Structure 1
Amino acid sequence: MAAWQIWQIVTNFGDSALLLPVAAVLVGWMLYEKAWRCATIWLLLFTPALAVVLGAKLAFLGWGIGIESLDFTGPSGHTTLSMAIYPTLAVWIVQRMPPRNHGSAYLLGWLFALVIGISRLVLHKHSVSEVVAGVALGTLVSLTWTLLSALDSRPTHHFVLASAIVIMVMCGLHGERAPTQNAIARWAIAMSGRPVAYNRYTAWPNSPYRKIRYIDPWGV
């Protein structure tokens, strides 16, 4: 197996086609356990983070708004979702264990998400600034949730069943790609009135980053 194929397998763990259903299972698990505060806090953190990613993409695709000097079109969606969801999921899974295990679980989830972010760089899907922004935004969600929900954590009584559901969802949806790129581009075109969406090359024709061959010039 070629190295790029391995990185593609890794990056697929950050696709919204997989992670949004995982997020739904996670929130459903919290609600089933009657951890209302945990679920509410996470949704209040996660939803604005998604809005930031979407808003940045629309601004660039529709109006060419970005930071050319940083090669920045918006936070990496894969990285943001991964950083927000995997550490949260890891901490929630170990709720039955003593609190001292929560930090280790968070770190493992965070490192896994970081590898997904790195895969976006290796595959030339995003610039360094976009991945760093995704790391920061997603970490803000998961770390804030972990700190605010620590006192409200409780043992999960359906650990095996819920974990099995998460694993089945991940196995079943791994490799699927959500049509977010085309959808966001269509919205941007409709909102801006442009005939086509901006990309890095049309927005920044003289950028020194033109030498980088982005597989996905939109950076979505």
Structure 2
Amino acid sequence: MTLLDSLYSLAPWHLLTRLGDAQILLPAVALTLFALLARASTRRLGFIWMALIIVATVITTASKVAFIGWGIGWADINFTGVSGHAMFAAAIYPVLMVTFFSGRWRGADRWSIALGCALALVVGLSRVKVGAHSWSEVLAGWAVGGAVSAVALALSQTSAIVLRPIVPALLLAWVAVMPFKLHASPTHSYVIRLAVAMSGNETPFTRSDLLHPARRQNALAC
């Protein structure tokens, strides 16, 4: 049994994958941004992070719309678009963990970033395990989201991030509790509607169409 197989057998993947849901992470981001933008010492990080998340969201959505609407994908690597869960997790958790722990003890930045990356890793693994994405899509999500966190933290003074304890406490409670409370995010269905409306096709392209294009042609012919 490989290391990945061992991880798969131990983890409740359907629960862990919820940690990448936009409806869980974006409210956490909003609260964090409010706290960052309220202070001059952390305002730069807040603006940079917010702008980069918006850019990453546009890239991710565009990749999904391109495939669902027009079938633009890469069959050889089973790629139908950037994984949104992996992207959001990689873009948000490292910065979120820095806001939790930065400046509270020596070396906190290094460990908090490592913890955020570990959470993003788990979310990406969960997307493969639950059958939502291929490895190429998860890797793309990690790359796009990881670039957001890396650039935001590199261009900011993390030593200045010392938020009031109530902010990390609220964030921790939200991220810990909401996966049990909220239903699965409907964002993917919205993307499908957008893609179909933009392309004018009656039906969306699917992974099966990418991997077995002859089947779609036969179905349309009928």
TM category (shorter chain) comes to 0.7 to 0.9
Alignment pair present for 1:188 and 2:195: yes
Aligned-pair CA distance for 1:99:
6.5
Count of residue correspondences: 204
Q: What residue in structure 2 maps to residue 217 of structure 1?
A: none
Q: What residue in structure 1 maps to residue 179 of structure 2?
A: 174
In structure 1, which of residues 42, 54, 73 is the aligned counterpart of residue 61 of structure 2? 54
Amino acid at match of 1:14: G
Q: What residue in structure 1 maps to residue 169 of structure 2?
A: 164
On the 8 A contact 1:4/1:123 being kept in 2, the answer is no
Aligned-pair CA distance for 1:108:
1.1
Cα-to-partner distance string for 1:115-165 (whole Å, 9 max, x where unaligned): 110011111110010011111111111111111113x6415241x210122
Q: How does 1:11-30 map to 2 (within 5 A)?
A: 11-30=17-36
Cα-to-partner distance string for 1:175-206 (whole Å, 9 max, x where unaligned): 43221111111111110001111111124325
On the 8 A contact 1:188/1:197 being kept in 2, the answer is yes
SS in 2 for 1:55: helix
- Choose 73-82 or 32-41, whichever is displaced more: 32-41
Amino acid at match of 2:125: I
Q: What residue in structure 1 maps to residue 39 of structure 2?
A: 33
Amino acid at match of 2:206: N
State the distance in 1 between where 2:207 and 2:106 align. Answer: 46
Amino acid at match of 1:10: L
The TM-score normalised by the length of structure 1 is: 0.85
State the distance in 2 between where 1:58 and 1:163 align. Answer: 35
In structure 2, which of residues 16, 19, 36 is the aligned counterpart of residue 10 of structure 1? 16
The TM-score normalised by the length of structure 2 is: 0.85
User: Unaligned stretches of 5+ in structure 1?
Assistant: 208-220
State the distance in 1 between where 2:58 and 2:10 align. Answer: 31
Q: CA RMSD in A?
A: 2.1
On the 8 A contact 2:102/2:112 being kept in 1, the answer is no
In structure 2, which of residues 99, 102, 109 is the aligned counterpart of residue 95 of structure 1? 102
The runs of at least 4 aligned residues of structure 1 exceeding 6 Å deviation read: none
State the distance in 2 between where 1:157 and 1:193 align. Answer: 48
User: Unaligned stretches of 5+ in structure 2?
Assistant: 1-7, 215-222
Q: How does 1:86-165 map to 2 (within 5 A)?
A: 86-97=93-104, 100-150=107-157, 153-158=159-164, 160-165=165-170
